[in-house]
Structures are given as C-alpha cells and as structure tokens.
Amino acid sequence: MPCNTCVTATSQPTQMKDFASANIFTWCTNCGNYGINAAVRRALVELDIKPCETITCFDIGCNGNGADKIGGYTFHGLHGRVIPAACGAALANTETKVIAFGGDGGTLGEGVGHLVHGVRGNYNVTFILHNNLNYGLTKGQASPTTKKNMKMDSSPDGPTSEALHPVRFVLALESTFVARTFSGDVKHMTKVFVEAIKHPGFSFVEVFQSCPTYNKQTPHEWYQQRVFDVSTVSDYDPSNRARAFEIAEDIENKIAIGVLYKDKNSVPQSARQQNRAKLNTQLVEETRQYPIDTLLKAFR
C-alpha cells in the first residue's frame, strides 16, 4: 500500500532525526556498526526518503541487534535468511525502498545460497554485507571470510578452510551492482549507499567492518592505511566486469573501494514478470476476489 497518508502530511525534507530511534545502542565501543547505522540514515536523508517508505531487513548477528535502532519499518529475520525476506518485501511493493543487512557468517555461511539467487534474480534490494571477518555475536568464531592465520574461538589453530573473497564471488554471479567501502569512513559509506539505493536491482555492498572485540588484526586503522576509491583511478570504468575483478582482487595491501561494478541496463526482478507488464499496481494493493468462471471452462 503506497504511503498516501504520511508522505503528504510531512512535506518537509527528511532529516537525520526522522530515522533516529529512541532505543539505546548495544554494540561494543568502536564497533563498525555505529558508522554503518549513521551512514545508512545519512544516505536515506540525502535521497529524501521518508521513514514510512523504507523497509530495512536485518539478519541475525551484531548487525541484527540494530533492527530496532533505526527509523522506518524494520524486519528482523532468521540467521542467514534475510535476503529472501527482503526480496519478498521488494516484490510486494516496488515503491518501498528495501535495504537488507547481513553479516559475513549468515550471508556467506548459512545463507550463501540466498545471496547467489538474490543476485541472479536482481531483486530490487540494497544488500549491505557487514564483513568483520568473524562471528561476533556468538563470541568470535571463524566465519567464511576469516583469514587462515587468524586464531579464533573453536579454531585455535586458525580456520582450515580457505577464506572467501565476497566481491570476487558476487562479481561472478552476473551481479548488476557491486561496491565496497569500510566502516571507518562514514562519508564514503554514505556516498556508496546512496548509489546502491538508487540502483534498480540487487545492489551488493561489502562493508569491511571493524570488530574491536574479536578481530584485533584488521581494525579501522588497518583499512584506513590500505584503501583507495576507484573513482580516483583515472581510467576506471565501472561497467567493465573484468576490470572490476582485477581491481577488487587485492584485499591485503591496496584495497579498492567505491562502486566497483555497475550495469546501467539493469532490469530488476519485478520488471521481468511479463504477465504483469501492463499492470501499474503493486501486489500489496491488488488483493480482491478474482473470478474463476473463465478458468473453469478448461475443466469441462
């Protein structure tokens, strides 16, 4: 149901306070989640999106504890399953901005299949991957992105599986928008989130996130010293997937951030439904009794 009450009621531009929550943050001091929360709100304000026009969807984990700490309608789902829930919401009402958040554990461990098909389906969802290289909320176990030299709870000698490279993985999935940023730079995150939210289709944003409690190896300073935005590379063309693969490869020394890949011709899932091409209504407003008389004739 499109927001036809509050949008007209508040003609004022959206402000940061509109997306504020009265609830107290419960994250560790210096957790990257503070910056991400602020940058998401800033991006929404910059785009002048009203809280009642947004659905933010949260996975389980430290990021999920932010589900009730941002304005707008929010949904807090199951571990690893936030992507299908967000995709379902996006199909139901394309006039709503749907933003989903998940950690490296839920997204690349338990729910990795959902990431694959969310990308393939190009649902109109902005997905923000909180990648802090570990399972924080369960107290510091190895995640699919934990580096092999990191000794973790339950993996005292370090993980015995190879670390996944999220951007390389998603670039290989016929993605239409792939970006990277890091949680120590709210300004950069805001810029990237704005682009991601504007993109029609599945926007994948990896945020390298600090975890001051369980990941001492890559704090904000570590990233700060290594990142550069691809827009500073004079000949960088974000429509070139091969170039994106190449520049995104290094995540140890010179780490490329910014919009790495973008398909300008992206067609979101909702616009791929041929049987709905002539309908300009939303699923949420279409429920009524549809006649079955004509359909029944086929069974005579």
Q: In the complex, which residues of this chain contact another protein (CB under 8 A)?
A: 1-6, 9-10, 23, 51-53, 55, 57, 60, 64-65, 67-68, 71-78, 81, 84-93, 95-96, 113-114, 116-117, 273-276, 279, 282-284, 286-292, 294-296, 299-300
Q: Minimum Å distance from CB 115 to another protein? A: 11
Question: Smallest distance from the beta carbon of 36 to another protein, in angstroms?
Answer: 17
Q: Which is nearer to another protein, 96 or 181 (CB)?
A: 96
CB 26 within 8 A of CB 100: no
Q: Which residues contact 286 (CB under 8 A, 6 or more apart)?
A: 279
Tell whether the torsion through CA atoms of 270, 272, 276 and 280 is positive or negative. Answer: positive
- Which of 63, 19, 65 is closest to 41 using CA atoms? 19
CB of 214 to another protein, least distance (A): 21
Q: Which is nearer to another protein, 4 or 253 (CB)?
A: 4
As a whole number of angstroms, the distance between CA 153 and CA 189 comes to 30
Q: Between 264 and 278, name the residue whose CB sits nearer to another protein.
A: 278
Least spacing, CB of residue 95 vs another protein, in Å: 7
Q: How far is the CB of 203 from another protein (least distance, A)?
A: 17
Give the residue ranges of DSSP H helices in 146-206. Answer: 166-171, 186-198
Q: Which is nearer to another protein, 233 or 279 (CB)?
A: 279
Strand partners, 182: 208
Nearer to another protein, 21 or 155 (CB): 21
67 vs 164, beta carbon nearer another protein: 67
Nearest to 221 by CA among 8, 32, 11, 38: 32
d(CA 192, CA 79): 25
Show Cβ contacts of residue 139 under 8 Å, excluding neighbours closer than 6 positions: 153, 214
Residue 27: its H or E element: none
- Shortest Cβ 184–another protein spacing (Å): 27
